[in-house]
Amino acid sequence: MHLQQRVAGEGFAIIPSVFSSTEIKNISEQLMQPAFRRSRAGARHILFHPAVESLALDSRLLHCAQDVLGPNAFPFRATLFDKSASANWLVVWHQDTALPLRERRETPGWGPWSIKEGIHYAHAPASALSQVLALRIHLDESTAANGPLRVLPGTHNLGVLSDDAVHDLAAKIPPVDCLVPTGGLLAMRPLVIHASSKSQISLPRRVLHIEYAASLSIAAPLELASA
């Protein structure tokens, strides 16, 4: 089954072997450079870094994004998640609905607004979020023991949901643990309901999360910002 079909049906797809061990080692070393403003849990807004931008434009990632979003798909945001014994956290069931925008322009269906590290953000409607795909590069193996991403398949087709609706679905739909080997990819829609538990072991679980969109003009007059 093609990636597009898998993502359309389930809201996510795992591609086990994309990057070699040597490539992952090089990526990991680049991400440890002092140019990144890191917290214990990782680093946000890192697409500006040449190594990350180059990786986001890698033909293998672009092919995946374009297969789902169309030929004009491009990266607009990158985040490093670094779960470890010293930075171990629980993420409750939720959808990703906030997008970075070049400027604040009041638009029906968008909001509330906020500013994060100087970038305007607004919670987006389903029509805009359907134009977004995240590709998660696994720098470490994601196992059942180190707090993997868990998803509720098919929930991306239900639109933007209230917290109560998300909670109700989490009680009804069997979750899937996204177990991905080092160098593998997880493709996911932002509206698929997802969560993660705390890691039960000391081994790290580092993931480079790069988001792609079908168009810069996500919804006139709004345009995505690079973050």
pLDDT of residue 59: 97
Strand arrangement of the beta sheet that strand 113-116 belongs to: 98-101, 119-123, 113-116
Listed by start position, the domains of the chain span 3-141+148-213
pLDDT of residue 89: 65
Pairing status of strand 113-116 against strand 119-123:
antiparallel
| 3-state helix, strand and coil shares in percent for the chain, rounded to the nearest 5 | 25, 30, 45
Q: Which amino acid is at 71?
A: P
Packing angle of the helix pair 59-69, 3-10 (nearest 10 deg): 60
Q: List all residues 6 or more positions away from 174 whose beta carbon is below 8 Å from its beta carbon.
A: none
Q: Tokens standing for 165?
A: 């609706």
Taking the C-alpha atoms of residue 225 and residue 146, their distance in angstroms, rounded to an integer, is: 32
pLDDT of residue 34: 67
**HSE-up of 221 (CA within 13 Å, CB side)?**
5
Both ends of the chain: CA-CA distance in Å? 32
Taking the C-alpha atoms of residue 65 and residue 133, their distance in angstroms, rounded to an integer, is: 7
Tens-digit pLDDT profile for the chain (227 aa)?
Answer: 689 999 999 999 999 999 999 999 999 998 887 666 666 567 899 999 999 999 999 999 999 999 999 999 999 999 998 866 566 566 899 999 999 999 999 999 999 999 999 999 999 999 999 999 999 999 999 988 888 899 999 999 999 999 999 999 999 999 999 999 999 999 999 999 999 887 777 677 889 999 999 999 999 999 999 99
Q: Tokens standing for 52?
A: 């990350």
Burial category of 162 from C-beta neighbours within 10 Å (exposed 0-12, middle 13-18, buried 19 and up): exposed
Determine the distance from the C-alpha atom of residue 176 to the mean position of all C-alpha atoms in its chain, rounded to a whole number. Answer: 17
pLDDT of residue 98: 98
Q: In this structure, is the dihedral angle defined by the CA atoms of residues 87, 93, 95 and 99, taken in order, positive or negative?
A: negative
pLDDT of residue 208: 96
Task: Name residue 186's beta-bridge partners.
Answer: 14, 136
Q: Which amino acid is at 60?
A: R
CA 211 → CA 64, 95, 96, 168, 175, distances in Å?
Answer: 12, 14, 11, 28, 23
For domain 3-141+148-213, the question of CATH label 3.40.50.720 is answered with no
Determine the distance from the C-alpha atom of residue 130 to the mean position of all C-alpha atoms in its chain, rounded to a whole number. Answer: 13
